[in-house]
Structure 1
């Protein structure tokens, strides 16, 4: 790694540090209650705002990647930073609007936040891989690590950021404004420091996603891998956005925000331990073992309904559900389908975003216990898909080797 890129790498990672807050704030029970009180809706209805983040990703994914290749990582990252600032500051403005369109404003801003996420992904993932070119896996793992650190600190920040309005409403606007301003600063900084440009612009014309789909034959195995992108996303997104509501309503835990810290601690440890385990164990084994662990954990939580179980569940789901499972599934796709690597990877991420939108939208209309049950069913489907892929793995490897 060239030392001149060290400040640039830090700026890129800081985008994901703030993103760790931005993608988690709407899942915090206390923030849900504050926003719900301001907008005159039920707390679970805030989950639909989280779902809009997935809708924004779906809108942007087909063109965010090609734009990053054509215009460069800097432009893609800048678009992501600016859009995220609009999302976060927009949440504060939506809170102030109250029942006069506040919920609608937040929904639109969340769509912009999802678009921001896509541009950050397509700009920063390749950029840090180009900067830390000798260890691209470590570079991308660093992104998840920065997200996890922010999510672990979030419950402690909430206690500092809370204020009361003149009308007596609880407000977390200082947090929204602070993170939005931080993104504006990062937007400026990304133009001031160098980025490697070697692979920034594609040479020649690349086949787009739609053209690639026209020439692709999908096997049952490839469809299963795409569906795993859907199910594994549902496992951790439903927990992240709804488990605290379950703890409040079903367990009687008045302030379960500390669950976020245990969840993030599990994620951080998983990133380190799983990276080591993948040297000894085939990646494909994790796409059945980790969902199975999540399934058993959620069944125990639903049946036991106690504070210790909620804490243990948060840590375990953070580890097995959010500790790189989606990235492992994508990695397995790249290895098993070399001829359609880009297409299948793109479809896994689209399936992930589709899950984020549809499943969270459905969850916003359900009771917390119903959401936990839905998550158990969805995760069980993921276990079945993982078993199918593992059973077919030897044959799939043989076919992949023939394609090389």
Structure 2
């Protein structure tokens, strides 16, 4: 609590509350936006897929540039670009304009990631896993409150309400971020004064060096799989609940809040146990339970199973396992943190692009097959988690925490 970067962290987390809204705001307004654009549901999901394209364009290079030029500029740039996305969607006349705006949102997400993750790891080096997982909490808070904003907007007859709220909050938060300190900027200032402190290169001690062709490739695949597993649920669970489980439209819309609640509970749990357990251990357990939860919803699509399964997926798949995976990668490959973030999330970006398109294609064959697809993702993720777990304990001296 005495850390001078705590206000900075809180402001960074606020950005991710809005980012959580931004990720699902199109799919949660697909009827209204589809009518505005003259597009069907498949075309709307194609617009959503452009988020992944935007991230692919920017995440790798922005991570590298963040190492070179600092964290704050990229956080500011990400917030400003997101504002353009939210306001632009309100007035977008067709899917082409919407796609361009959604690409910008993906770029904005990349800017935020390349500035925020390194800034938090540098601000809280001894609790990097917990600090990164709290980003997921912020995302889920946004996705938790969005359905209630939508319900209020419907009652008011003003469906654009969520877009305006998101833009205004980001605008105000930019002024806070501008004034707040960042650790990399402070370190640069100390160096100029001749007061630089020795940097902590790695939080772990190695018995042998990890292999980029094995662990590195495994992390790259995990970056894709972990994103795909929970992203499919966040984008499609409302439709699946209604069409596969026979839930009412109102009940199916609230599934996203159950998913977010599960994620928030996991963040609270991880923030506590993560101080005592290594992140790699949590990754293995969470990934296995994600597989069990998703497979259950595929095999037994009843309202009760979908309700419980959605909350369980929120807990085990969307509660920060991707951030924990990034933390483990940072431990095993302690190079420039911005660059590592860029590499890991580049493949998460590919998933953000691929999943909505896969949903659109798979839904044409069967609604149930969409959940089967996610079951396959979760199974692959569990295999990768086993590989990472084994190699971590072979290369890292686990006698030291």
**Please, what TM-score do these two structures have when normalized by structure 2?**
0.83
Matched, 1:198 2:190: no
1:263 to partner: Cα distance: 0.9
Quick one: which of 81, 89, 96 aligns to 1:104? 96
Cross-structure match for 2:396: 397
Look up the SS of the partner of 2:244 in the other structure. Answer: helix
Distance change (3 Å), C-alpha of 1:203 and 1:230: farther
Distance 2:368 2:215 in 1: 33
Q: Deviations over 1:225-262 (max 9, x none)?
A: 22111111111000100111111212222221211111
Look up the SS of the partner of 1:305 in the other structure. Answer: coil
Cross-structure match for 2:320: 324
Cross-structure match for 1:300: 296
Cross-structure match for 2:25: 25
Q: Deviations over 1:130-160 (max 9, x none)?
A: 5567755544343332222222222111111
Distance 1:330 1:285 in 2: 13
Cross-structure match for 1:210: none
Matches within 5 A, 1:158-197: 158-162=150-154, 172-196=159-183, 197=185
Look up the SS of the partner of 1:364 in the other structure. Answer: helix
1:32 to partner: Cα distance: 1.8
Matches within 5 A, 1:226-241: 226-241=220-235
Matched, 1:13 2:13: yes
The question of whether the paired residues in 1 share the 8 Å contact of 2:290 and 2:378 is answered with yes
Quick one: which of 152, 156, 160 aligns to 2:148? 156
Distance change (3 Å), C-alpha of 1:331 and 1:32: same
Distance 2:111 2:291 in 1: 32
Matched, 1:374 2:373: yes
Cross-structure match for 1:212: none
Distance change (3 Å), C-alpha of 1:117 and 1:302: same
The question of whether the paired residues in 1 share the 8 Å contact of 2:225 and 2:380 is answered with yes
Q: Deviations over 1:106-146 (max 9, x none)?
A: 11111101111111122233444555677555443433322
Distance 2:334 2:323 in 1: 17
1:27 to partner: Cα distance: 3.7
Q: Deviations over 1:3-33 (max 9, x none)?
A: 87665444333222211211222343xx122
Distance 1:122 1:392 in 2: 27
* RMSD (Å) for aligned C-alpha atoms: 3.1
Structure 1: any 5+ residue segments left out of the alignment? 165-169, 205-215
How many matched pairs? 376
1:280 to partner: Cα distance: 4.9
Distance change (3 Å), C-alpha of 1:142 and 1:155: same
Look up the SS of the partner of 1:162 in the other structure. Answer: helix
Structure 2: any 5+ residue segments left out of the alignment? 193-209
Distance 1:265 1:313 in 2: 12
Cross-structure match for 1:38: 36
The question of whether the paired residues in 2 share the 8 Å contact of 1:297 and 1:316 is answered with yes
1:395 to partner: Cα distance: 2.7
Cross-structure match for 1:265: 261
Distance 1:181 1:219 in 2: 45
Cross-structure match for 2:270: 274
Look up the SS of the partner of 1:55 in the other structure. Answer: helix
Q: Deviations over 1:280-304 (max 9, x none)?
A: 5443233333222122222221222
Distance change (3 Å), C-alpha of 1:180 and 1:200: farther
Distance 1:133 1:383 in 2: 28
